Structure formats: C-alpha cells, structure tokens
Chains A and B, each alone.
Chain A
C-alpha cells in the first residue's frame, strides 16, 4: 500500500526566508506526485505535480519540488516566502492517472511579517 509522510507538521518562518517541506512516499512502482495548498477557508489547490521527465518541477507562485527516486522524496521548496504563503501544504501520491490521491498529514506553514 502507498503511504506519504510529511516530516514537518508546523513550520514558522519570517518573510523572505527560504522554505523546504519534506515529503517521502512509500510506493515502489511508477508514481505520480503532487503538492497541494489549502489557504485558510479555501479549497485545495494544486501547486505542482510530477509524472515523469525532469525531476525538478516548477509550480505556481514560485514553488518548486524535486523528485529524488533513490530517496523516495519529493520535497517542496520556495527561495523566499511571503506572508500570503501562510497555509496548509499537502503532499500526495497516486499510482496512476485516474486513481484517488493518497495524502500526507499536511504541514501548517505560518509566515510572520
């Protein structure tokens, strides 16, 4: 069975600090990987996704993630966070197109002015 683990449950950063959120997945076969963001009171939005190809994926709002197969990792990064990045971030995996997503527990990010 698949599982996704996110190492940081709560992260507090000052504006302009760099961000890296860890994500590890367990499935050994072909896997699709995602990062979603949930702003307070809003629905889940897709930040970026990886299916194949270039392991460095760029998403919206300046976020990027790197797929490292040997480490089963898909960490999310942003060089300089803003107050508006305060949100809950979820890493997710799935076996293939059309399947349901398997979510990590989420990381709550608070960016202070």
Chain B
C-alpha cells in the first residue's frame, strides 16, 4: 500500500510552453503533498508544500507564478511549469503524507522534464 504515482514520467517540451505534472496518491488520502526538484548529482530541494483546499506554501527563491501548484482533492496535486525555459529542465518529485500517518512521506517516481 501507500503508492504515489506521477504523470507523465518524462516530458519534452519547447521553450515557452507550459507543462502540467500530476501527483496522485493511489490508495490513501493525503492532505499534504510536497514538491521537490532534483538537479543532476545534487540533492532534492523542496519547492513547495501543497495542502488540500488551500494555497501552496513556496520555499524562498521559488517563483509561485512560474510553478503553479493546485491540490484540489485528497489524492491529487498538480504542478504546472508555466512558460518553461531550458533552465527549468530537471527531475521533479512529489511526496505525499498519509492522513493519520504523518511520520512517513511516500514518494512518487519522479518526472523528468526537458525543455528545448
């Protein structure tokens, strides 16, 4: 149990377009989901905390107008990279905190975004 999926797993887009990444908790409900970004050979950096039914909380240095987060239900959070540029190319990973089990985060498999 406690499976988190991300869609798509890979996406290639042209500069200037927008890309939506979905994060779903398949067999549990999550009021909180986190979005991380992983650069090659580097650590996962927290981008934002997504809470169901409220606005996301962004980390310092993360542009909220560029990385739009929506957490419309207890099983789905979306990250939209607007007007993507090559420097946005990265590996985006989400994690979900199961309601009542806040000790553990369950990670999605990640989405590889390449902006040409």
Contact = CB atoms under 8 A, between A and B. Distances in A.
B22 to A, nearest CB: 15
B40 to A, nearest CB: 11
B104 A105 contact: no
B32 A98 contact: yes
- State the majority secondary structure of interface residues on B: strand
Interface string B3-36: 0100000000000000000000000000010101
B104 A46 contact: yes
Contacts of B44: 90, 101, 103
Interface of B: 4, 32, 34, 36, 41-46, 49, 93, 95, 97, 102-105, 107-110
Interface of A: 4, 9, 32, 36, 42-46, 49, 51, 90, 97-98, 100-106
